[in-house]
Structure 1
């Protein structure tokens, strides 16, 4: 259940159409949450690919616009994000995650990478809830469910 939260001083009107869908596609690819898409963290997909793939339904994207944010003492366009997931941020791919998300934010919103900070949060499965239980419990219940 990956979660991406973005806070920015840009207004809602500054966001292109399909921003959420495009971002979901890239995050699904990066975090390999869509088994039909190979993990290629250095590639950013064009926006027209969104309709061609069946994305994971469990990636959450939350955008907070019109925030009172400053970066380096100025109110020029800036943002910070938090990308949270279970078991994805061991270290070796972290630079690629940051690079791809930063490039996407720059391409779609015009925010320079020097004015965008991304926090990576790796949560244990017993600290994330889904379907009224932790992911740990959900997985155990799914493994013990009788086959149809």
Structure 2
């Protein structure tokens, strides 16, 4: 159920082919969630300007059912910013990440919601 979505102006040619595969275990470990429920998506070559510059930049959104909060998000931010900087070349001061904690009833899976499956 965790989904880390990244939009960036970095060209596809500069993104490692295995980026999303490498990001899954990082995300799962940070959130303490099973890898089989984690999703990482990356949208490259988005026309994007951050602070008046089109140098490499990104915007991210991390959605999860639980495992998010003021103190937890600081730890998640550290790991995810480091990952994006190392793998995509986006400096940590040229990206934002929003954290979205969703209730189980707001996330669908297998024709129902997580609330129905695990609630």
Question: TM (normalized to structure 1)?
Answer: 0.77
Q: Distance in 2 between matches of 1:92 and 1:66?
A: 32
Q: Distance in 2 between matches of 1:14 and 1:106?
A: 12
Higher helix share: 2
The answer as to whether partners of 2:2 and 2:37 remain within 8 angstroms in 1 is: yes
Q: Name which of 95, 108, 112 aligns with 1:133.
A: 112
Aligned length: 119
Higher strand share: 2
1:83 is paired with a residue whose SS is strand
Q: Name which of 96, 100, 112 aligns with 1:117.
A: 96
2:70 is paired with a residue whose SS is coil
Structure 1 residues not aligned, in runs of 5+? 35-55, 141-148
The answer as to whether partners of 2:77 and 2:97 remain within 8 angstroms in 1 is: yes
CA deviation digits over 1:70-92, x for unaligned, max 9?
00011000001001000111222
What is the root-mean-square deviation of aligned Cα atoms in Å? Answer: 1.0
1:73 is paired with a residue whose SS is coil
Query: What is residue 4 of structure 1 aligned with on the other side?
Result: 4
2:99 is paired with a residue whose SS is strand
Question: TM (normalized to structure 2)?
Answer: 0.95
Q: Distance in 2 between matches of 1:63 and 1:30?
A: 18
Structure 2 residues not aligned, in runs of 5+? none
2:74 is paired with a residue whose SS is helix
